[in-house]
Each structure stands twice: as structure tokens, then as C-alpha cells.
Structure 1
Amino acid sequence: MSSSHPDFQVASRLANIAPFHVMELAKMAADLEKQGRHIIHMGIGEPDFTAAPPVIEAAARAMADGKLQYTAALGIPALREVISAHYRRVYGLDIAPARIIVTAGASAALLLTCAALVEPGTEVLMPDPSYPCNRHFVAAFEGRATMIPSGPEQRFQLSESMVREHWTAATRGVLLASPSNPTGTSIEHGELARIVAAVREKGGFTIVDEIYQGLSYDASPFSALSLGEDVIVINSFSKYFNMTGWRLGWLVAPERLVPQFEKLAQNLFICASSIAQHAGLACFTPESIAIHEERKAEFRRRRDYIVPALRELGFKVPVTPDGAFYVYADCSELAGDADQLTIDILNQAGVVLVPGLDFGPHTARNYIRVSYATSMENLQEAVRRLREYFSGKRNTQ
């Protein structure tokens, strides 16, 4: 038998999918930790809290009771029903459980949505900056993400006028996130309503990623689902419910599209984790909600510390984030290249920050993303190290 390996040719679509720079920095940080360095991680967007105790107990019960088999592709009915009740309690919306599809994380929800709606060669509008995987989901189905430069004047989000200006014959829809990764900014309700109306007028689709909607700090929460049954919303158990590794999310779709999503889910994933689904039921109990709200208040406290601290260090924070756990900070007065700055800070100060490189070309060189999904003690120590780092740079100039 020959031991040689054939030189397979990979699909050409891979050329449109870039490496995730956040993870590359995480690997560099891991190498430094192996050398004995203490590293403060403010890069990856993962809550330092884990699942609430009632959720962990529910998972243990599910395993003990043998609830380990495949579920329906759309998710267990009880979970779809409690998610529906959640929309009624928090947002005052009557969302039929039949419209709710439980997925293997928000990533699977986005993958299903793009598989259902993106044709080869078509365009999807999204802001620059935005979460990199969103444009890669579009590219995976041979569509093209049209990245529209969105600065602090637009809160790093799209507006109705931007959507109308950039809509072409090839455009199929828009993909938004509110609150956003990397900026932590939301789209104001009236502006989002105007965007949805403009897209509807064009016969396109509107997808809104709301995985950070539970972590909104400065205004009454609202869901894009209030703007019509044709809006598709993505959500997740990872952020507000602190269940990143459980890989559980959901999407809400127009009821007429649910059979199409079901067909795709059956073939691509079969179902989300049965254990995670049964555990997810416990996320919505009064006991768990109280825990999640306490943690949300802690995230807000961290935001209120880190934003002024970054400004004192010399970063510009042109828009105070109103949700999620990120600050998008302008470092142009401190360094000429955000990528090199984050590498230097990692090596010299032992703090992981993320350059704008991942999030689109418009802000790549001048912005960094700071995640405050870590303890207050870590944030305070990181600020001390950064102050020392920048003080040393000034002294050597």
C-alpha cells in the first residue's frame, strides 16, 4: 500500500475566509503562559462567569435520567415554549413557539440562515466593523459581504440612508448586530425600523444578531422581532446566560420558512445537544434570571470602570458602549498600527487586546477591541500594566 498522500485541491471558497486573528493572539498568549508569564485575557469575548447552578443541576438530572438521545431538529418543544414565554415577559412580544428553531449555538443559526437565503454571487450588506464570522458565513455559501464603512458618527452601525445608498441589483439583504461585537453599540429603535422598512421595500431579508440583547445597559430592551414577522433574529445562550461551551442558541424565522430551516438542520446538524437543551430550560426560572441579572449588573460596573480608564490612558472611546462587554477604542494617538500595538502590549505588559484587523478594513489600523468579560481585579491590574507600558514608551522617546 502506498504511503504517499494525494495533494487534494481545496475548494476555492476558502480563499474568501481569513484566519480569525483573535484566536492567533490567544495562541501567542498561551505560549507565553507556558513560559510562566501571567497573562490577563481581554481578547476573546467569553464571560468569566459559567452557567448558573440551576442550569448545571438541570444538566446533571438530564444525564441521570438518560435524556441523551437525538431530539427533533427544531429543538425540544418545552424549550421552544419557554423561549416564547421569555419574549413575552421581557419584550411584550407574542412569538409563536413554531417560529423558534433551537440550534447548536448562534453560529449554527447564522449558518442555517445563510444556507437558506444566500445565493452564489449575491451580496449581503453589513457594517464595517462587524463580527468577522458573519461575513465568512456569507462567503461559505459563495455570497459576498458588502462591508459599509461605519464610524462613530453612526455608532459603528448601518443607517437607512447607508442601506439605500449601497443597495444594488445583486443585494439580497442585510445582516446586523445590536448590540454589536466588536463595538458594544446598539441601533436605535427608530433607525432599525427605518432600515427594516427600506429592506422590505427592496424585497430583501433582514437578519439581526441579538446575542448580546440581554446585556443592554442604558435603555429599555427591545427586539427587532417587534418590527414584523419577516425579520429573522439570531440569539444564543452563550452571553447573557453564560453558556459558551454548551453550544446552544436559537433563531426566530417567519413561519413559512421554518420547514426549510428544519430540512437544513436535519441534514447539517441533526439537532442541538440534548443535554444542553434540557439544561437550557433552567435558564428561564426566576432563580436563574436573578443570577443572570446580578451578573449583568456586574458587567455594567466593569464597563463604567474600564471606559474612563482607557480614556485616561490616551485611548479615544468615541462611543460609549451600551451593551455586550466590549469597548472599541481608537489607538491612533498612541500608535501607528493597532496590530503591532497589541502584539507589543501582549509581549511587554502581558495583556491580551485585539486589533481592529478582524473586524473589517475601515478600522483595522486605528482601533482595538477591549473585552471586559473578566474580573474587576483583572481589569484593574491590566490598567496598571498598560499605564506602566505607555509610561515606559514615553520615557524612551
Structure 2
Amino acid sequence: MNSRTDLPFALAARNDAIEPFHVMEIVKAAAALQAQGEDVIHMSIGEPDFTAPPAVQAALVAAVQAGQTAYTPALGITPLREAIAAHYAAHGVSVDPARIVITAGASGAMLLALAALVGPGDEVLLPDPTYPCNRHFVSAFGATPVLQPCGPEQAFQLTAADVAARWTPKTRGVMIASPANPTGTSIDPTELAKIHAEVRRRGGFLLVDEIYAGLVYDHEPRSALSLGDDLIVINSFSKYFCMTGWRLGWMVVPPGMVAAVEKLGQNLYICPSALAQHAALACFLPESIAIYEQRRQAFRERRDWLVPALSGLRLSVPVMPDGAFYVYADCSRFAADSEAFAYRVLNDAKVCIVPGRDFGFADPGRYVRLSYATALPRIQEAVARMAKVLG
């Protein structure tokens, strides 16, 4: 039954399967405080405080001046697909550029992949907690997301044993993220190989969200693509490359899937932004990579300061995040519900953090997510404010 609206016609039933993004409510509350003149420190939204490096900005201007604004192929411009393949090769993974599809952000990649893979009656297995839009992408195509609780004892990540136990005749595949939002944890490579084997044995698909793969701190970047050419891997220019609003991403698909994805892209949005594609070529210049690596070190320094500081506040961090820019902290010492705790921190300390409600159903009231995608002095000020409130 569709939710009631003031429209003279009914909305599609799929709307009822997709929940609101609850984090935006606390962000709106923070904005209201700011409108009253309060200094709110945002540790909520997952958006780098850095922007595109100078070479990328210059490449965008050059593309505009050269009139590179026409439609591109639905799969993306060849030089960018080749540059991404070379980027993988620099990290020891060989990928045929013909398997690389440029998309309108990682979200566009998710939509294309799931449009090609699932439909009504299908099920897709995901970890709980997980980024909420991932399960909503599944719902948007009439399939059912099945969330498997994954606690801190398994780094909040699926295991091969989970896949084997939860697979049913309706299961079409598995979606995972490494590193993950909201936890910042990665799947151990050995465990990922076991998951891949379990999925392959059952004739399903394995889709790996790697949009934070460039932002890892305790090991070098790695990709699930090293396991074979039958996986779907999604990445983005938003996080490591600091280009969130440019709406540009990519995915690597099995050779036999390229034609289906191309057809869907042609019909659904024609092509990704031409200007963003031409500018993104400069992301892979040595001077740009050097800047990105400096920023990766800056994120690591923030993590290494923040996690012990949270422990000092008695906000337990059950698993050390090894990537992304999130800490998933246990606030149960202070409140029975993380949403109430987050609003207390916002109203009393003027620090905006995110309750666990958006990320699943496995004990979300226990956890809050803090983003360290903001400058270290602001993070330090946020912790000082929280210390006063929490005693």
C-alpha cells in the first residue's frame, strides 16, 4: 500500500521500500543552530574537506575552453578508461580498459549494476551495518536486501560462513564494501577470497564497493579485482580524489556484462558528465597523485589522534578503522539510544555526529559514527567540547 500523499495519483510501490536518510534530520538540526549563530563542528557527512588539486581544476577550465561538452560514449571516454586501468596496474592489478565503465558517480554505477543483475523476487545479501543507500538500490529494482548482522568480533564485515549460512534459492549475489561506511573497516584478503569462492560456487555475483580503497592507512591500497574477472567492483572520484560534487565514478565488470551495462547507460542517462571526465584525466598525473598521498597521510594522522581521544572520553571504539574517514564508536555507556546521544552532543557540545539508525538493524542504538573528514584542529576542538559535556 502506497503512503498517502496530497497528489491526485498514486506513487510507485517501490517508494515504500526505501527509508528516508535519517542523518539528514540531525544535519538540518545542526543547520538550524548555525542559523542562530552557533559554531557547530560537523563530524557527520562523509565528504573530504579537500577539493580537487590544481591540475584537475586547470584541466576542467581547459575542457570548457576547448568546448569538450558534447555527449561521450555511454561507457566513458577511452583515455579515462585507459588511465584508470593504468592506475590499477600501478597497484599490481591488471584490468582490461574494455571492462571499465565510467559512471555518474558510484551511485550511478550501483544503479547500472543492479539494474542489470536483480529484479522482483531476488534477494541480495549485505552486511549489517552497511551504507543505507546500498540496500535501497536493491529495493529500487524490486529485489529484497537481506542484512546479516556483523558484530565487532568480525570487524563488522561479512564472512564466508555468513554467506554459506544465509544463501537461499532466491539469493542472486552479495554486496560488500571494503573499507566500509560506517565502520571504516576492511575485509581481510583471505576472507574475501573465501567469500568469492562461496559466491562463485553458487553461481551468484559478488559486488564490491571500493570507493574508499585509496584511503587506507595500515596497508597499501588493494582491490578485489586481483581475485578474478568475474567480480563487479565499484569506485569513485569522490573520496580519495576529493571530487564529490563532480559526480563521477566507475565500475569494472566481467567482460560478458559490458554490453548490458552499456545499453542501460545509453537509455538511462546517455553518458556521464563530459567535462568531469576530461578533467579527471589530470587526477592521475604524478603531481596530483603526490597531493592525494599527502592527504591520505593527513587522514591517517586525524584517525590516529581521534581514536585514542574517543577512548579517553569513554566512547569505546571496538574495531580500529583501517580506512575511509569514519570511526564507529560505542556510546552505550552514556545513553540507551544513540540517536538521543547524538542530539545531546549536538545541542550541548555543538558537535554534529551520526547515530547508527541509518546503517541497519543490528543494535544501531549502541553506535554513533564520527567522520574525521574535517581539519585536525576542529576535531580536537570537538573532542574538547564533548569532554565538557560528557564529564
Pair 1:355 & 2:375 matched: no
SS in 1 for 2:362: helix
- Structure 1 residue identity aligned to 2:85: S
CA distance in 2, matches of 1:166, 1:32: 45
**Equivalent in the alignment of 1:114:** 114
Give the 3-state SS of the residue equivalent to 2:176 in structure 1.
strand
Any conservation in 1 of the 2:119–2:143 contact (CA below 8 Å)?
A: yes
Alignment match, 1:379: 379
Q: How many equivalent residue pairs?
A: 386
Q: TM-score, normalised by structure 2?
A: 0.98
Q: Do 2:120 and 2:142's aligned partners in 1 also have CA atoms closer than 8 Å?
A: yes
Identity rate, percent = 59
Deviations 1:300-347 (A, max 9, x none): 000000000111101110100000000000111111110011112111
Q: Are 1:89 and 2:75 counterparts?
A: no
Corresponding residue for residue 30 of structure 1 = 31
| Whole-angstrom CA distance in 1 between matches of 2:214 and 2:298 | 13
Unaligned runs of 5+ in 1: 392-397
Query: How big is the shift at 1:371?
Result: 0.2
Contact 2:215 2:221 in 1 (8 A): no
Where does residue 388 of structure 2 map in the other structure? Answer: 388
Opposite residue 46 of structure 2, the aligned amino acid is G
- What is the match of residue 315 of structure 2? 315
Larger mean Cα displacement after TM superposition, 234-243 or 216-225:
216-225
Structure 1 residue aligned with 2:252: 252
State how far apart, in whole Å, the 2-side matches of 1:154 and 1:16 are. 29
Instruction: Write the distance in 1 (CA, Å) between the matches of 2:105 and 2:325.
Output: 19
Whether the 8 Å contact between 1:128 and 1:363 is mirrored in structure 2 is: no
Equivalent residue, structure 1, for 2:236: 236
Query: Alpha-carbon deviation of 1:133?
Result: 0.2
Task: Give the superposition deviation at 1:363.
Answer: 2.9
Q: In the superposition, relative to structure 1, how do residues 63 and 155 fare at CA in structure 2: closer, same or farther (>3 Å)? A: same
- Aligned twin of 2:294: 294
Counterpart of 2:3 in structure 1 is none
In 1, Cα distance between equivalents of 2:25 and 2:226: 39
Match of 2:153 in 1: 153
> Any idea what the Cα deviations from partners look like across 1:118-159, whole Å, max 9, x if unmatched?
121211001000000000000000111110000011100000
Deviations 1:56-110 (A, max 9, x none): 00000000111111111000100000000000012x1210110000000000000
- In structure 1, the residue matched to 2:330 is 330
CA distance in structure 2 between the partners assigned to 1:238 and 1:299 by the alignment: 15
> Which residue number corresponds to residue 55 of structure 1?
56
8 A Cα contact 2:74 2:271, kept in partner: yes
Structure 2 gap ranges (5+):
1-5
- 1:278-293 maps to which residues of 2 (within 5 A)? 278-293=278-293
In 2, the alpha carbon distance for the partners of 1:119 and 1:20 equals: 23
Q: Cα offset for 1:6? A: 5.2
DSSP-derived class of the 2:214 partner: helix
Structure 2 CA distance for partners of 1:60 and 1:167, relative to 1, 3 Å: same
Q: Give the whole-Å Cα distance in 1 for the aligned partners of 2:264 and 2:32.
A: 39
Moved over 2 A (4+): none
Q: Distance in 2 between matches of 1:171 and 1:321?
A: 30
Q: Which residue of 2 aligns with 1:226?
A: 226
Q: Secondary structure at the match of 2:317?
A: coil
2:71 and 2:27 mapped to 1: Cα distance? 34
Cα distance in structure 2, aligned partners of 1:258 and 1:376: 43
